[in-house]
Structure 1
């Protein structure tokens, strides 16, 4: 009958500038697609060179090597008899475009440049690419000689065009174009295009997957059609993790779903669908709206069919219900996969983590444990690539991991760095968790190193600083806390470099950081302390989410040691104990709770609030708990802390990107790091509003609700802040 088509889309773990590896994975995906009977294969965005090339896109080498890979693909026997849709950068008329290249049987069919750029959040596409702005227009593209030699073609169509086969019509979208209010699939659908494809480089953020799925479903629910979605997977070489989720939809229903998190470098999703289902859907529901556009899509015709003449025996894929991971599952899986990519590609022998016995470092340890669980499951499931990588990391060609705890002992070292200010409780909590996950654990006392450094200072200056409880000043107190934190960083790197050597083993370890996104937001850590590490898997995750994640780990991994960690108040343990008990807590030091910081962080970054607009929003959000004057105090306190410590963001450890309010200025939060920390104009605007506000009080009277001035509403006394005297570093273990 010739109406059923088998289509393939995929998730690939590509790596920026890894042209050999990228080529191998592309070819493998095409081979799998053909083995499942597919006649069309869609790949992720910029899959040939990798999406994360950044300023390497400026280099002519990147363009040259991309064409060299394209030649290998075009002339490969694997790519015959299937339409291949691959992504790469192309220069046309001296302008660089992010493109899709469609080819079949050693012929380039068309090149479709991206028309709508991703240029917000973590994306900077306009820095390297220009959008194709000529809607429905196509030009001739002169192929480079290395491609002409294979295809025998001088020119091919380049621009806003669609592919017309003998049995259907295929139109291309690219990543951000799906998210745009004027998505190309709208006009293409009205012009009769039946199959839409989207090649993406869409990164993981907590709670984001449902947006992506809903967009794909809605793309076809209005006017019918088949939608193929391909995405990158893994760490492309930077902070973000691409989380796959390849899928196929028809007429508003998902019929095939790829994994969101997986250690498989190549995942191919195929679906067999009936084109008549699209036509009947449109005929019944959309007929009055299916109009011919004044300027129709430019169709590139190809003498090829996606369907066969005897397809009546082929079953078609039916709608499925998408399974969404909970935020706790996302934290367990996403950063774990990111860590594994970083470890195996950096060719190091494992990780080292300063484990303090608190929520943050314990969360990092649990993510490493989750990584080991995934590795053991992959090996048990027959993933030969994972087994090969594990053997290379541990330095044993015959090794086979049998249990996550045993694997953890090979690749994960934890250390508790005690000082005279550390409590027995935190020490025992760290040791208990290390025993349960199986890490190689050490207890290190840093007092001798701290006293040695202070001794050097005393010899030079003739003075010995004291803690505040012993009569010292604020500046002395802060310096004594910071020297402990920085000694821990030095020792962490020393043991990471020589720890395996001391045990007679080869290789070095990557140092893991464990500062959460809320602490980074306020600068609640010491610059160049043990928050300074090689990578940080929790740097984009809030404290609130980390606590929920640890509760999940108690159930999922039976890590009962986490119960005591969760019940303990977060503390840096950098000031002297009081009667052997902790007297310093994080939230008291910061002057804000972690839940308050999460709200403030989203307002600052996502809602683009400065001090005054944040105050205006929070007087309503927090009206049941705080008076306007108290809200004002918290807002001003946050912006003082934020601006005083903003310079630390220039040195923050590269972190897994999981929250859209990350303050990482290296890629995501482009703000200055030298501020007037007084915020005089902004704070004065806040102060001027407080006397004008009234607190509603419900009064039991015949007239119902009346309004009375709140006694807490008096304008606060000005608190001038001397920027030069502001603490350079707020301590945090």
Structure 2
């Protein structure tokens, strides 16, 4: 099973200008290497059989014949291979010469795609030798003793994907051919190019390809001329680039003197999901006038060897790496702050009431309140931090909660919930020594009642602390910590909450607050609803009960953001967390994730308002609308047979 991945390659052979036999041999060698590595489709640079820089030699009959002989050599020597190859060469047609991409497989020429836009400015003189695809009326061409389909609107359909082709300058046009090809079904676009180098051009090229692949919601495979091309006036660096919906998957080494094959796997299943979700894509297809219908060419079966993924997957997809993390934290914090500021002003609230437990989520909510009040020019005393120690509260979390509130200068209130809960247990005839769901949830609901009433006392809003990961798992007490008047953390996953708190601690905090925040970051995650152990340490560790949040956030991302099925998520997780969790552990928590996600939807159906900060949110008014009684059986059955 390939799980929707198509293995592609951008090849950069070393060439000798006008030596077609040599160049064909180099191409043939790289095709064989790529086939051995499981590549299904490979593309070569523009005019790769002759070399791009032949100049007026393109007017020589001998060169045209040698190019065709080179193609015959490649076709004959690769006819036993399943791989689809896209090679570049000049193709003669009725007194014209085309700069063309030739698609071959198993000894057959599947189709010929001429270049549409011929650059004829600065160092480029292509109109001197070639004719644009727009000027060609023919729909077939004789090549290698075969009659092959010809045209700029060819789509090639394999058992796994549909792909189209554009050539170099086509990409730089205001409306590239790939845009039209994508609207008509191309999921991957291959571009054979002769991209010259100049200062700053490479970054612009990458941006261009990234944007085009994102705009088309497609894979984009780019191969450009490398070492061996003439350096009379320009230099070619040999760019091999593979993009997927705006994201770079693989890249060649620039200015290499050696041949290269850049390999990557494009997730066509993910692209299809993105296109279905983004209904603008379909709307654009219906509204866009097409100059000509596409011709669809069916290929032979492309051998799908056992899937060998070369691409890697971030274990923490919500948490960017390096300097990007600081930028992301600043942006998220700004979104949370702006959302809360608008809500406070709109409701004419005089206070923000936050339950402070000494844990990560309530800490982040408090920090958002502080930043918001500061930006509004309001006194921090308008923030009412309420610590509500209960049966499971430890000295560490209680101390951190109080010290943080004091160092930040907010109003501090402490209300113990013990006596109220004991009375409640008596009222409902519950044994206080039975530490079951009644015991736990009563405490959470008592705390919420206190916060709501204090908000009424102070003409304020209760600011919710629950995060995206908890809400996805339903790890919240219904009408307890599940409820608030505005939830600032509702779309922030747990793995990112920790980084946000740490980022705030290290950026602009006083020494006392910083020390407390860093200790909170290092405190085990716990609801603290069960009494501590004999040493006073936290006894109830959330991740022991519900599973590691880094796994659940990984599952959540690929389920909601990408629409992946459990078996595919399991495949990615076992590869990504190899050496961290064994396969059985991953399977166990994957089952827990899907079971809880479906069963706990009723809690998400009535979430309080709160700002969306990333690409994933589960607000019933926004991103995720799911019946509370939807069946999880299909997902759980697929998990049962894994391993």
Which TM-score applies when normalising by structure 2? Answer: 0.48
Task: Tell me which structure has the larger Cα radius of gyration.
Answer: 2
